[in-house]
Amino acid sequence: MHTKVRHIAVSDIKFNPHTPRHPFTVAKLRTLAEDIKVNGILQPISICVNNGRYELVSGEKRLRAAHLAGLKKIPCLVVHTNNEESPLLHTMETLRRKDLNMFEEAKYFALFIRQFNFSHDEAALLLSKPTGYILEKLSLLRHTEECVTLILEQNVSERIARAVLRIDDEQLCTDTLRIIIEQAMTDTQAERYVDAAVARQAEHMPLPCVQTQLFMQSLEAAVGQLRIAGIPVQVSREPAADDEVITMVIKRSKNVSASGTF
C-alpha cells in the first residue's frame, strides 16, 4: 500500500459505514467550519478508493465541517489498498487518533478484535499497544449508558471510570459514581471511596455469599470477553430448593459449540 496527498472534491467522498463514533454536535461542527473558512484545513483527511469511489478512512469531523463551510475541495491523504484491507486500515488509522474519548476507543478496540478475529495479543502487536492497555479499555464497555453519560458529561477520569466497575451492583455503581462527582473527589479519593463501598458490601454478606459473588464476577467478566469477541453467549440463573443453577450457553458455530451447567 502507498499514500499521496491530493485535493479531492468534497462531494466525491463518501463516509465510511464502519464507524461507531457518536454524532458530532452542531455547535462543534460550526466552530470548526468557521475556523476552516479562515485558516483552511491544516491536516489532510485520510481516504481510500473502495469499489471505484473515494471512502473516508479518518477525519470525519473535518469532512463534515468542510461540507458545512462550503468547501469545494479538501486535502486528502489517498491511501491505495485493496478492498479487504480497507476496513482494517480504517480501524487502525482511527485508533491512532488523539480525539477519541475512552468509550469510543474501547468500541474501536472491540470492533477491531471482533471484525478481524484477532486475539488481544495480536491486536496489541498490530496497534503497538500493551495488551493490558487494551484490556483496560475493553472493561469500560461494561458501564451502563447512564454511567457513560455521567462520565463524559462530567469529565470523569478514566481511572475513576475503571475503579467504580469493581462494584458489581449496577445501581450501587451508579450511585457511587454520582457521589464521587458531587464531592469532586480526586482519583485517589475516589479509589478509596470505592474500596470502602466494596468492603461494606462484603461485610454484610456471609462468606459463602461473598465467594459466590466473586465467582459470578469472574463468570460475568469471561462472558463479557466472549461477547466482545463477537461470540453469542447466554447465562441464566435459576433458584432451586437449596441451590442455584447457573447455565451458560454458547451459540453453535462452524467449529465450536458448548453448553454447560455450573
Residue-wise pLDDT tens digits, 199-244? 887 666 554 454 565 566 677 777 777 777 777 777 777 766 567 7
Specify the pLDDT at position 111: 84
User: Does 261 have pLDDT greater than 50?
Assistant: no
How far is it, in rounded angstroms, from Cα 73 to Cα 53?
16
Higher-confidence residue of 86 and 157: namely 157
Specify the pLDDT at position 35: 92
Domains of the chain, earliest start first: 2-99 (3.90.1530.10), 232-261 (no CATH)
What's the Cα-to-Cα distance from 190 to each of 18, 141, 145, 151, 195, rounded to whole Å?
36, 20, 21, 13, 9
Higher-confidence residue of 205 and 106: namely 106
How much is the mean pLDDT over the chain? Answer: 79
What single-letter amino acid sits at 165?
L
Pinpoint the alpha helices (H) of the chain. 26-39, 60-69, 85-95, 102-116, 120-127, 131-139, 145-153, 158-163, 170-182, 187-203, 207-228
Residue of 65, 105, 111 whose CA lies nearest to 227: 111
Higher-confidence residue of 127 and 159: namely 159
How many percent of the chain have pLDDT more than 70? Answer: 74
Specify the pLDDT at position 73: 94
The per-residue pLDDT for range 60-93, each reduced to its tens digit, is 888 999 999 999 999 987 766 555 555 666 666 6
User: Does 177 have pLDDT greater than 90?
Assistant: yes
User: Does 7 have pLDDT greater than 70?
Assistant: yes
Specify the pLDDT at position 262: 39
User: Does 41 have pLDDT greater than 80?
Assistant: yes
How far is it, in rounded angstroms, from Cα 6 to Cα 27?
29
Q: For 29-52, what is the mean pLDDT?
A: 86
Specify the pLDDT at position 260: 41
User: Does 254 have pLDDT greater than 70?
Assistant: no
Higher-confidence residue of 169 and 203: namely 169
Higher-confidence residue of 171 and 19: namely 171
User: Does 198 have pLDDT greater than 80?
Assistant: yes
Query: Residue 230 — φ and ψ, nearest 5°?
Result: 85, 15
